[in-house]
Structure 1
Amino acid sequence: MKLDIGDLKKRLQTRAALAVTLESARTVLSVVRRGPGIAQSDREFVLPIGAEALITDPVKAGQALAALLQTERIRERRCVVSVPPGWAMTTTGEIPEMSPEDLRGFMELRAEREFPSAVSDLRIAFDSYRAPDGKDRATLVAIPSKRVAAVEQMLEEAGCKAISISLGLDACLSDVSEQGAVHFLSNCDHVDVVVTASGGIAAIRSLAGPVAASEVPFDAANFCREVRITLGRLPETVRQQVRQAHFSGASRASETLCRSTRDH
């Protein structure tokens, strides 16, 4: 589930959109403006309502969002929404060679087999790529429709409309080279682990991360063990590509994670 900035520019009639990023304990807003070949964002605004609180009461979240937009005099109402990768159920595997139309049906059948919910109750997307051994692979992503509906209800309550809802993983795919990487996206109390290879997303997983002022120490050894398990589930040809690690997200948590895992 990717946001294509080029496609976004074609669809936008205005020169700006409101970027809405849902995190564990907050929602981050910024106005994204079209620039020459890039999307430029203004300063950030924070709504102290996290993703799960939004699901519990989308109307209340929408009212708070409307109040923030009014206070900050933000006029943009067309939204590009990034939901937490932790909301997604994922699976990855080989795919046969077929037309895009047939591939969509094939992935829906796979979702029926792999996920515990009916396909009608899910929003499904997939990212395909060709592995170094020449085999086509895809990562299938499914988000419960009720969660997406809650996001849409919040936006409607605030007088906004989503033009895109995705996992917000575009930065992980900004480098389309063959060099694979593990991306650690720190998000409050957890870390979204995204593995990229051959220009595609090979795996997505959310793990508990370091929490500031927590009485429970961060178990860096167990964290790294879970990352190795995730990598171990990938084919050898894909895994061999992964030679880099990138840390991003909340700066303090990201720095702590990088420092804690360095020797593991």
Structure 2
Amino acid sequence: MIDLKQLDKLFQRQPGSSLLGLSFDGSRLEGVLVRRTNGSVEIKKTFTASLSLDPLTAEVELVGREIRNQLDAADIRERWCAVGLPLNWALTLTVKLPEIPEEAVADFLQIEAERGFPYGPDELMLAHSRFTAGGGHFATLVGIPREHVTRLEAVLAAAQLRPVTFSLGLTALQRPDAESGDGTLALLPGETSVAMQISCGGGMVNLRALDGAFEQVGAGRELQTDHIARELRITLGQLPAEVREAMKRVRVFGRSEVATQLAEELRGAAQDWGLKIEHVREHAAEEFGVKIPTGTAVSAALSVAVRRLTAQAGMEFLPPKISPWKQFSQRYSSGKLGYAGAGAGAVAAIVLLAFLIQQIVLWHWESKWSHMAKPVAELTQMRDQIRRYRPWYDESVRTLSILKRVTESFPEDGAVSAKTIELREPSRVTCSGTARNREAFNRALDKLRGVREISDVHVEMSRGTTTVEFTFNFQWGGPAGL
């Protein structure tokens, strides 16, 4: 019998030996194309770019097109990508684990996340890291708003990219689970903030972005080391005593001038805290379990990509993709498959029968139509002729009705006479003529205003005293019988 789960793995596409690493930090985008060959990793291409559009607020298609243009400029065609998310998207919460069975830990952490985060259970992508301190067990929960993740997925799709992982760059640079004894405070300067991670006891103790790390000075920016040192001192002071005593070093990642300045200016403060400063400029050759080129500059994008290629699990925020085969295999076991097949066959037969009945009905009415098509065409032609010439016929005898009412309004002795009567619009009538005197003309107008079908009588022109020439118009309100 066919194992549907194995069949799902067969059809599910996965990245090959090459992968594109991307790291988002504010408007800065870093990319590294890597390829794994025989126990080593080759760095094929690298690039950095400044995005003019914000992936969270700008039009998805426009952001995707901008990223695609940057990739094309770097001559990168790889579609599979591993993505490092901005740390300022992350929310963190540390909880103490009670003595409960291991299988109940996930449910406990979910409940704590619902209590501690200002989001509903379906509005966050959650990951966690567990550590021990003072004989107790703790977990640090990290949540990314699902809306951010979904939007970034859409942006990458618009850029013709397929993500295989969403992680955090600093957690890939400094693996929290690598520190089982001595504690480490890791710092990674970014575009607008400094990412900070404290790891100890086999996991992550604290993770945050230190805002206010830079101050704009003219066209440049100035590192606020005193502010950073104050934030670090407060953070260290809030740690449990066992964790604080285990802290031994501060690691500053990066080759940039800002990273060098931060490492140098924090050296004195670190000594006061009893910590040793390490400035990490390059990746160790065997850092990821595979060989990488000597002298490779530290990179969040590279770390995320290589750890994915080497199957090193980390924090994952990419929503799981359930393939149709997996959905089918989960829904139907081998015992239910026969019933499902029979049901599908019955549904197919009903659908075919419905189509057959529909076709028979269509044939019947097509036969009816073929017999009546010619008379219908003749009637249609007659109807079109009637519509064409209908305006020439007026069953209401409107013109005669108007003339009758005007004639009745004028005196019988001929004191007022009309020269022209013009229908300028369907309901607007203009009359021009002469009157022997103005009194006779005014009496005719008054009588005309009293007619039920006539309204809005307006004198356009009247001149003369003994003989009055006039022009007036009125609105005809409806036909009248003769």
1:19 Cα deviation from its structure 2 partner? 0.5
Is this contact kept in 2: 1:122–1:144, CA < 8 A?
yes
| Counterpart for residue 209 of structure 1 | 213
CA distance in 2, matches of 1:72, 1:204: 33
Is this contact kept in 2: 1:181–1:196, CA < 8 A?
yes
Deviations 1:186-211 (A, max 9, x none): 00121011101122111011113245
Is this contact kept in 1: 2:215–2:224, CA < 8 A?
no
| Counterpart for residue 114 of structure 1 | 116
1:86 Cα deviation from its structure 2 partner? 1.5
Q: Which has the higher strand share?
A: 1
1:199 corresponds, among 174, 199, 202, to 202
Is this contact kept in 1: 2:180–2:203, CA < 8 A?
no
Deviations 1:76-111 (A, max 9, x none): 111100001121010113112445542221111111
- Aligned: 1:231 with 2:236: yes
* Residue segments in structure 2 that go unaligned for 5+ positions in a row: 1-12, 270-482
CA distance in 2, matches of 1:98, 1:125: 19
More moved, 40-49 vs 243-252? 40-49
Is this contact kept in 2: 1:95–1:137, CA < 8 A?
yes
| Counterpart for residue 76 of structure 2 | 74
CA distance in 2, matches of 1:36, 1:233: 46
Is this contact kept in 1: 2:30–2:47, CA < 8 A?
yes
More moved, 249-258 vs 54-63? 249-258
- Aligned: 1:56 with 2:67: no
Is this contact kept in 1: 2:130–2:202, CA < 8 A?
no
TM-score, length of structure 1 as denominator length:
0.86
Amino acid at match of 1:154: V
- 1:123-162 correspondence runs (5 A): 123-131=125-133, 133-162=134-163
| Counterpart for residue 316 of structure 2 | none
Is this contact kept in 2: 1:187–1:250, CA < 8 A?
no
Amino acid at match of 2:57: T
| Counterpart for residue 5 of structure 1 | none
2:28 corresponds, among 26, 29, 42, to 26
Inter-CA distance 249–61: structure 2 relative to 1 (3 Å threshold): farther
Secondary structure in 2 matching 1:55: coil
| Counterpart for residue 179 of structure 1 | 182
1:190 corresponds, among 185, 188, 193, to 193
Secondary structure in 2 matching 1:153: helix
Q: Which has the higher helix share?
A: 2
Secondary structure in 2 matching 1:93: strand
| Counterpart for residue 47 of structure 1 | 49
Secondary structure in 1 matching 2:122: helix
Amino acid at match of 2:240: P
Inter-CA distance 253–212: structure 2 relative to 1 (3 Å threshold): farther
Is this contact kept in 2: 1:247–1:258, CA < 8 A?
yes
The two structures, once aligned, show a CA RMSD in angstroms of: 2.4
1:122 Cα deviation from its structure 2 partner? 0.8
CA distance in 2, matches of 1:82, 1:191: 15
CA distance in 2, matches of 1:253, 1:12: 38
CA distance in 2, matches of 1:258, 1:212: 20
1:221 Cα deviation from its structure 2 partner? 2.7
| Counterpart for residue 94 of structure 1 | 96
CA distance in 2, matches of 1:249, 1:211: 20
Inter-CA distance 121–212: structure 2 relative to 1 (3 Å threshold): same
CA distance in 2, matches of 1:160, 1:100: 37
* Residue segments in structure 1 that go unaligned for 5+ positions in a row: 1-10
Amino acid at match of 1:240: E
CA distance in 1, matches of 2:62, 2:243: 44
Inter-CA distance 261–13: structure 2 relative to 1 (3 Å threshold): closer
Is this contact kept in 1: 2:92–2:141, CA < 8 A?
yes
The structure whose Rg is larger is 2
1:170 Cα deviation from its structure 2 partner? 1.9
Inter-CA distance 204–38: structure 2 relative to 1 (3 Å threshold): farther
